[in-house]
Chain A
Amino acid sequence: MNAPLLAFNENGIYCAQAGVYLDPWKPVDKAIISHGHADHSRWGHKKYITHHSNVPIIKHRLGEIEVAGKAWNETFIINGVTFSFHPAGHIIGSSQIRVEYKGEVWVFTGDYKTEDDGVAVPYEVVKCTTFITECTFGLPAFKWLPQQQVITEINEWWQKNKEDGRTSVLFGYSLGKAQRLLKHLDPSIGKIYTHGAIENMTEVVRPLISMPPTIRVTRETKKEELKGNMVLAPPSAHGTPWIRKMVPYNTASASGWMAFRGARRRRAIDKGFVMSDHCDWQGLLSSIKATGCEKVICTHGYTDIFSRYLNEQGYDARTAETQYEGEMGELESKVESVDDVVPDEEKANIKVKPNKNNK
């Protein structure tokens, strides 16, 4: 039997025929990158290939790297293997990676969601024989409401807080969730302030999406001017001295994990909005079906449970060990990058270093 087109080894997802890795977690020569989140685009590769919209994002996160940008559907061939990027709908610049060799087609999803969020280019079904999928929310307990409904709830919450004389502090990741929220917040309610980490990332992607104006929270920002307004902050800002400036405030988190009452209570957040950049249960199942694949490999999330269910449904499904952060990821205040914890004014002094844990 021939070696599989893509194999999971200690460095990442490896295409031996082409000699390249997809989203590797250890430094390699050539890396094809699905999107800009830290667990998928890591430091230390010699060469990066990714979608055009992701280039400024990973340059911002990783500094001076050698990176080639590609368009959607643009094919490039490495040693006879054809690669192309296709929209994954997860965050801006996020792609599925299609790999074709001798008539065999594999698709690696990275992270993805099926709903059009108005920011990321919407997910497209890519036909394949083997589908390597995430399943962060691969449980029937996860069912997302239409985005518009959640957005309405968020704006109503902001409006109510404003009437009560409180500042609204809304937590979401600085890359992806923050811009999605920003895009849909109603600027007629009040001003939108941002934590430095979010402002920096938003500046990077502003040329690509139209979004309401934002004001960076700095040392000079006065407590009084924040009252009744909205502050977007990364989850890691919760419980830090930074947030004291917003008193009196109400906090909320926008995440798929907010579907669980316990997850919200544990984080001591007032309000939870169920909004995710990943597929829900039905989203995963319908995508898998639409690809027409025979084999499924589950990379991160509730992999054991999800693949068992797929097997019962007649798929040839298995799990693979990766270092993507499905199960833990968003649930706790993981630190995405140095951006998340260091206020802007102090950031200039800090050089981004390789993650020691990934040596």
Chain B
Amino acid sequence: MRNFAELIKTLDSTNKTTLKVEALTKYLQLAQDKDKVWAIAILSHRRPPRPVNTTLLRTWASELANIPLWLFEESYHIVGDLAETIALVIPVSEANSEKTLTQFLVEMIELKAKTDEDKKHYLFENWKTLNYYERFVFCKLITGSFRIGVSQKLMTRALSKATEIDEDILAYKLMGNWDPQKISFTQLILEENEEDYLSKPYPFYLAYAVENEVKTLGDVKDWTAEHKWDGIRSQVIIRNDQLFVWSRGEELVTDKYPEFQAFVNTIPNGTVLDGEILPFIENAIGSFNELQTRIGRKTVSKALLKKTPVILKTYDILEWKGKDIRDLPYVERRKILEKLFTEVSTEKTANNFPLHLSETISFQNWAEVAAERSRAREERSEGLMLKRLDSPYLVGRKKGDWWKWKVAPLTIDAVLTYAMRGHGRRTNLFTDYTFGLWDEEKKALVTFAKAYSGLTDAEFRKLDAWIKKNTLERFGPVRNVVPHHVFEIAFEGVAESKRHKSGVATRFPRILRWRQDKKIEDANTIEDLKGLIAPAPQPPKGE
């Protein structure tokens, strides 16, 4: 544990990527193999289940710190991180532990089944004897989400330096379902093991947004385009008569989408498709809001399956006949995909086979591409994807071959109504905002969206200072502020929603700009927002 805590301290002591990678590399060279596996697991967000719920953690931490619970809670809202708050409020210790990272994690896994009394005893013992950084890491492991400014990509780069294995290969090895308790470093990283690969997805290739005019991408003949679907980016794997569905967050979500079981025995084994999971209701693509009813559920009821069925809108094929074909040019992969699609869809379409092809768009010049993009909302898409015809399927977010070209967002002017302190680097700053729009009589502001991004650091600071001086009421961490500031809020789409008080839900709201030139009377109404709801797309004709 000492070495791992030292690593975290070193990572915390620099803002430079190269130095972070250097420290990680050193750790991955020197640590015991078992600790390495756990370090990799933790830094790629594979943590053991939380052994103690946070209510108990807060209660016990305030008890050991000898402060009332409310004071602990207030401190937590200001510090913005539970593990850090616990590490800070408990009396200082200078000791450090001889136990390894692995020992701690094994203890934590065993802890889950123990009685509250045993849990409390275990926590007190460690809280009292670990030094600040060890205690912080210990609490981080217990509370989960180990976000400490090291991305998986950075960790993979360091691992590559430490093992001299290519980064892309490592990214592949680290994907999927492996259990840090059972796997050894040799099995995970060093060995070639065919069987492990059964469920393994490929790292997703991600696109950047178009930066300049599309014309600058060069000759239009080198490119193809398709609509950019607003669903869940997923890989669907058919191997050995089994189905695996992976979301982009590297989460295995097979059980959430039982519709796709229809792919087993229809799509040949040794196939991996890349595409987007979309709601498909009454023969038309639904809104993301509708899809959200499916995302949260672990088990899907029959009623929900009927109400919100999903499809896979596929646009790429990464494995065919058991062979990794990511290096083939896009246009070749599409040929294979389209042939496969025709074969499986002919007899099945009648039964609502949940595989759809994301059609490519033909065009002669960039103006035609732009015209198609302007139709995006009608198609229920976010814009276009531009793909170079000869591009291989790369790993991670890379510039050059794939670009997303989204339509301009919808916007509305809203009033800041509530604020909360942020987390992470926004610790102690009021940066999480709630916005309201006027009701019909223009008398009351109705909450319609929360937004956390879009302002500069300087603007956040200015607004933070203003909020502290213009608070009307406090509800725990939330402050109700004087309605005064107007912001232009951008969002990708808007749909009716019963779950929201305002009756509408916006997709990915964020702050576009601070309208210091506007008074609150100038802000929009809920009715204005409802006016932006797009009519549902018509089912395709002739089917």
A-side residues, CB < 8 A to B, are 139-143, 145, 250-251, 257, 259-266, 268-271, 302, 304-305, 308-309, 312, 327-328, 331-332
**Given A262-B80, A270-B13, A328 contacting B427 (CB threshold 8 A):** no
| Chain B residues within 8 Å of A251, by CB | 15
Task: Identify the closest chain B residue to A309 (Cβ).
Answer: B71
* B474 contacts across to A, CB distance below 8 A: 304
A328→B81 contact, CB < 8 A: no
B13–A328 touching, CB < 8 Å: no
Q: Main secondary structure on chain B at its contact with chain A?
A: helix
Stretch at the interface among B48-56, B239-247, B418-426: B418-426
Given contacts A141-B78, A260-B84, A305-B74, whether A271 and B13 have CB atoms under 8 Å apart is yes
B contact residues around A140 at 8 Å (CB): 65, 67, 71-72, 75, 88-89
Least Cβ–Cβ distance between B438 and chain A, in angstroms: 31
Q: How far is the CA of A263 from the CA of B81 in the complex (A)?
A: 12
- Tell me the bound Cα distance from A305 to B86 in angstroms: 18
Chain B residue with minimal CB distance to A145? B92
Are B461's CB and A261's CB within 8 A? no
Q: Are A266 and B16 in contact (CB under 8 A)?
A: no
Collect the chain A residues with CB atoms within 8 Å of residue B75's CB.
Answer: 139-141
Tell me how many residues of B have a C-beta within 8 Å of chain A. Answer: 36
Chain B 66-98, CB-CB to A under 8 Å as 1, else 0, gives 011011101100111100110011001000000
Cβ-neighbour of B464 out of A263, A302, A328 (below 8 A): A328
Q: In the bound complex, what is the Cα–Cα distance between A262 and B88 (angstroms)?
A: 13
Contacting residues of chain B (236-277) with chain A, CB-CB under 8 angstroms: none
Q: A262: which of B81, B461, B464 is its contact (CB, 8 Å)?
A: B81
Q: Which residues of B contact A312 (CB under 8 A)?
A: 68
In whole angstroms, how far apart are the Cα atoms of A302 and B74 in the complex? 10
With CB as the reference atom, state the residue of chain A lying closest to B429: A266
* Closest residue of A by beta carbon distance from B72: A140
- CB interface residues, B 18-46, toward A, < 8 Å: none
Tell me whether B89 and A270 are in contact (CB under 8 A): no
Determine whether the beta carbon of A265 is less than 8 Å from that of B85.
no
Distance (whole angstroms) from the CB of A357 to the closest CB of chain B: 11
Shortest C-beta distance, B150 to chain A (Å), equals 12
Interface contact B74-A261, CB-CB below 8 Å: no
A270 to B18, CA, bound (A): 12
Which residues of the other chain, A, contact B13 by a CB distance below 8 angstroms?
Answer: 270-271
Q: List 22 A-B contacts (CB under 8 A).
A: A139-B75, A139-B78, A140-B71, A140-B75, A141-B88, A143-B88, A250-B14, A260-B79, A260-B84, A260-B428, A261-B12, A261-B427, A262-B79, A262-B80, A264-B12, A265-B149, A265-B424, A266-B427, A302-B74, A305-B71, A312-B68, A328-B465
A309 CA / B15 CA spacing, docked (Å): 37
For A263, give its contact among B70, B88, B428 (CB under 8 Å): B428
Cβ of B468 within 8 Å of any chain A Cβ, yes or no, is: yes
Q: Which residues of A contact B70 (CB under 8 A)?
A: 308
In the complex, how many angstroms separate the beta carbon of A10 from the nearest chain B beta carbon?
14
Q: Could you say which residues of chain B place their CB within 8 Å of the CB of A263? A: 427-428
Given A143-B88, A257-B428, output 14 extra A-B contacts at Cβ < 8 Å: A140-B72, A140-B75, A140-B88, A141-B75, A141-B85, A141-B89, A250-B14, A260-B79, A263-B428, A265-B425, A266-B429, A305-B71, A328-B465, A331-B428
Task: Say whether A259 contacts B425, CB under 8 Å.
Answer: no
Among residues of B, the one whose C-beta sits closest to the C-beta of A269 is B15
Asked whether, in the complex, the Cβ of A332 is within 8 Å of the Cβ of B427, the reply is no
Bound CA–CA A264/B428 (angstroms): 12
Q: Is B457 an interface residue (CB 8 A)?
A: yes
Contact of B424 with A262 in the complex, beta carbons under 8 Å: yes
CB closest chain-A residue, reference B458: A332
Report chain B residues within 8 Å CB of A327: 468
Q: Which single residue of chain A is at the shortest CB-CB distance from B16?
A: A270
Determine whether the beta carbon of B14 is less than 8 Å from that of A270: yes
A259 to B81, CA, bound (A): 12
| CB-CB nearest in chain B for A325 | B465
Whole-angstrom CA separation of A261 from B15 in the bound complex: 12
By the criterion CB–CB under 8 Å, are B84 and A266 in contact? no
How close is B447's CB to chain A, nearest CB, in angstroms?
25
A143 to B461, CA, bound (A): 25
Task: Please report which residues of chain B, range 151-173, place their CB below 8 angstroms from some CB of chain A when the two chains form the complex.
Answer: none
A354 CB, nearest partner CB in chain B, Å: 20
Candidates A139, A262, A302, A309; contact of B427 at CB < 8 Å: A262
**Would you call B15 and A268 a contact (CB within 8 A)?**
yes
Which residues on B sit within 8 Å (CB–CB) of A271?
13-14
Report if A260-B89 is in contact (Cβ < 8 Å); known contacts: A269-B15, A271-B13, A312-B68. Answer: no
A264 (CB) vs chain B CBs: closest residue: B12
Interface string of B397-429 (1 = CB under 8 A from A): 000000000000000000000000001111111
CB nearest to A259 among chain B residues? B88
Which residues of B lie under 8 Å from residue A261 when comparing CB positions? 12, 81, 84, 427
Distance between B420 CB and nearest chain A CB, rounded to angstroms: 14
**Smallest CB gap from B431: residue in A:** A266
In the complex, what distance in Å separates the CA atom of A74 from the CA atom of B103? 63
For residue B16, give the distance in angstroms from its CB to the closest CB of chain A. Answer: 7
* Alpha-carbon gap, A304 to B477, bound state (A): 13
Inter-chain contacts of A262 with B (CB < 8 A): 79-81, 423-428
**Chain A residues, CB < 8 A from B79:** 141, 260, 262
Residues of B within 8 A of A268 (CB): 15
Q: When chains A and B are docked, how far (Å) is the Cα of A46 from the Cα of B89?
A: 46
A250 to B13, CA, bound (A): 10
Measured CA separation A268–B16 after assembly (Å): 9
Least CB distance from B518 to A in Å reads 23
Instruction: Please give me the residue from chain A that is nearest to B92 by CB atom.
Output: A143
Residues of B near A141 (CB, < 8 A) are 75, 78-79, 85, 88-89
Smallest beta-carbon distance A205→chain B, Å:
30
Q: How far is the CA of A302 from the CA of B85 in the complex (A)?
A: 16
Instruction: Note all chain B residues with C-beta closer than 8 A to A309.
Output: 68, 71
B468 touches A328 (CB 8 A): yes
Measured in the bound complex, the distance between the Cα atoms of B474 and A302 in whole Å is 14
